[in-house]
Each structure stands twice: as structure tokens, then as C-alpha cells.
Amino acid sequence: MFYAWRVPETLGGGDWIRSGAPSNEDNTITRAFTSDQVRSLTGLSKRQIQYWDERGFYRPSLTARRGRGRRRLYDFRDLVALRTASQLRTDHISLQLIRKVDSYLRLLDYEKPMAQVKFVVSGGELYFEESDSVRRARRPEQTVIRVTVPFGRLVQALRAEPLAR
């Protein structure tokens, strides 16, 4: 059994899809976002969303557009991923580099890397954190050295040592 209804825009918009589950499982509720809602929440144009779907860069998880009249429905993690990709594009990161990082992380079993990984843009370079290491997007297989300096312990040690005269 399948139920679907639309939440009015005044209540936050979006579609709530409630699907009946087989015998022993609980019913689940998933928030679905249309292309227009994704557009307004991410800053992407309708054409960018369509292009990314058609080229296979980012397809909607709930329903894909197949022919005229079918609308794309995205889940919340799709929305986060698209918002992240949109922000990276705003920060002048090329789509080619974003796709490269996305593909690399999918090989490491991330389902939706743009929604699961922390990204940083510094000095025009894209970095991401994966498995407690920071990596540069241009060479994702290499780890950037990350050093933690225990300043608290250093200060205590320096205060405890008498000054040499």
C-alpha cells in the first residue's frame, strides 16, 4: 500500500511520502523535494539540475525523470549534496574536479559523498576530510600532512622548567 500527499507551502513545502511496508517493518516517512524546491534551496538553476541528472553526475534518489510529465524527486541527502556541489561551484571549483572527488569517494563506498564528507576551499584549492586525514582534491589518493601541536602541554612544560641563566 502506498500513500502520498503534499504539504502546503505555508507549512514548509515539499512532499511527504508515506509508504506502507511489508508485514514486520514499520512505515517510513521520507521528505521529498521537487526540482523547483531544490532550485530555491541550493541556488542551482533548473538547467543545472537537469544537466547534472542527464549526465549522471547527480540523479534524484526518489524518482528520476523519464520522459515528459514525470518530475524529479530528491531526498534530504540529495538536497545536502546538491547544496554542497553548488557552494563549491560558487567558490570557483570546477565541475570536473568536483566529479573527480565524487567518483573517488564513491570507490571508497560513500553513497553520497557530497553529503557525507567535509570539504574545505583554501587558496583556490579543494580539500576534503576522509578517514581522519585531509586530502587535496587534485590528488585524492595522497594525504596532506596534518599536525596537531599540543600547545597546552607545551605551555605547562615551559612554565614548570626554571629559566636557564
In total, how many domains does the chain have? 2
Contact 142, 101 (CB under 8 A): no
**Quick one: DSSP state of residue 111?**
S
Question: Are residues 139 and 62 part of one domain?
Answer: no
Q: What is the pTM of this model?
A: 0.67
Residue type, 154: L
Distance CA 88, CA 95 (A): 9
> Of the residues 69, 90, 111, which one is the last residue of a structural domain?
90
Q: What is the mean pLDDT of residues 150-160?
A: 85
pLDDT, tens digit, 9 for 90 and up, residues 86-97: 999 999 999 999
Q: Which helix H or strand E contains 83, and what residues bound it? A: helix 76-90
Supply the range of the domain harboring residue 80: 1-90
**pLDDT tens digits, 5-20:** 344 444 444 444 443 3
For 126-150, write each residue's pLDDT tens digit: 999 887 788 889 888 888 866 677 8
* Residue 98 and residue 82 share a domain: no
Is the torsion defined by CA of 103, 108, 109, 111 positive or negative? negative
Based on the fold, state whether residues 72 and 106 are members of the same structural domain. no
Confidence at residue 42, expressed as pLDDT on a 0 to 100 scale: 92
- Cell triple for 102: 565524487
